[in-house]
Amino acid sequence: MNILNHRLSEALQIESPNQDQRPDAQALELLVIHCISLPPEQFSGDYIDDLFCNRLNPEAHPYFAEIHQLKVSAHLLIRRDGTLHQYVPFNRRAWHAGVSNFEGRERCNDFSIGIELEGSVNQPYTDEQYQQLASVTRVILRHYPAITPDRITGHSDIAPGRKTDPGPFFDWPRYQALL
C-alpha cells in the first residue's frame, strides 16, 4: 500500500465535490476515526458514496429525506469487507468533523484526515476493517509524520456531546496493538 499524489493506491477513487483547499496545506496533524451506515444500522450498497457525492435519493429511504442535502465527505471509507473508497485527496480538506476541537484547536477539518468505517456505534466492527484500518494508518503515519499515534482520535473525542462515533464497540486497544 502506498500514497501517491495524496491518494491511496489501493482505494477506489470516487471524487466528492465536498472538499476544498486547506488553509495551511502542510498542516496534516490529526487522524479522525468515524463510522457511518446508510440507512442507519444497514450495510452494503452505494448510499454512502451517494451521500458523499451529493446524489443521495431522498425517496430511497425515509431517513434520506432528512440528510440528502448535507454537504459532507471523508477522505476514506473502509467497508465491512475491508474495501477502501477514497473521496478526497489527503492534501485537501474533507468535510467530516464539523464543529470540532482537538487540544484547544478548533476546526479539525483544517488539519485532519477523516476515515469512516462502515459501521454503527451499536455493533462491532469486522476483523477486515481493523486490519485495513491498521494498514492504512501505518501508511499515513509514514507519509505524514506530524500525525503520530497520539494524534489519532475518534469523532466523539473532538465533538463531545454532538457525536458518538466510532462508539463503544470500537476496540481502541486492538487497533493500537495492530499499529
Closest to 11 measured CA to CA, from 82, 61, 71, 66: 82
What CATH number did the domain enclosing 7 receive? 3.40.80.10
Active-site hit among 59, 116, 118, 128: 116
Task: Give the single-character DSSP code of 162.
Answer: T
Task: Give the single-character DSSP code of 159.
Answer: S
Question: For residue 154, what are the domain limits?
Answer: 3-178
User: In angstroms, how far apart are the furthest CA atoms of the chain?
Assistant: 44
Distance separating alpha carbons of residues 133 and 10, to the nearest angstrom: 13
Closest to 29 measured CA to CA, from 97, 102, 80: 102
* C-alpha cell recorded at residue 97: 468533523
Total number of domains in the chain: 1
- HSE-up (13 A, CA, CB side) for residue 13: 11
* C-alpha cell recorded at residue 78: 473502509
Whether the Cβ atoms of residue 8 and residue 115 lie closer than 8 Å to each other: no
pLDDT per residue rounded down to tens, the chain (179 residues): 999 999 999 999 999 999 999 998 778 999 999 999 999 999 999 999 999 999 999 999 999 999 999 999 999 999 999 999 999 999 999 999 999 999 999 999 999 999 999 999 999 999 999 999 999 999 999 999 999 999 999 999 999 999 999 999 999 999 999 99
Task: Respond yes or no: is residue 116 known to be catalytic.
Answer: yes
pTM > 0.95: yes or no: yes
Name the residue type at position 79. R
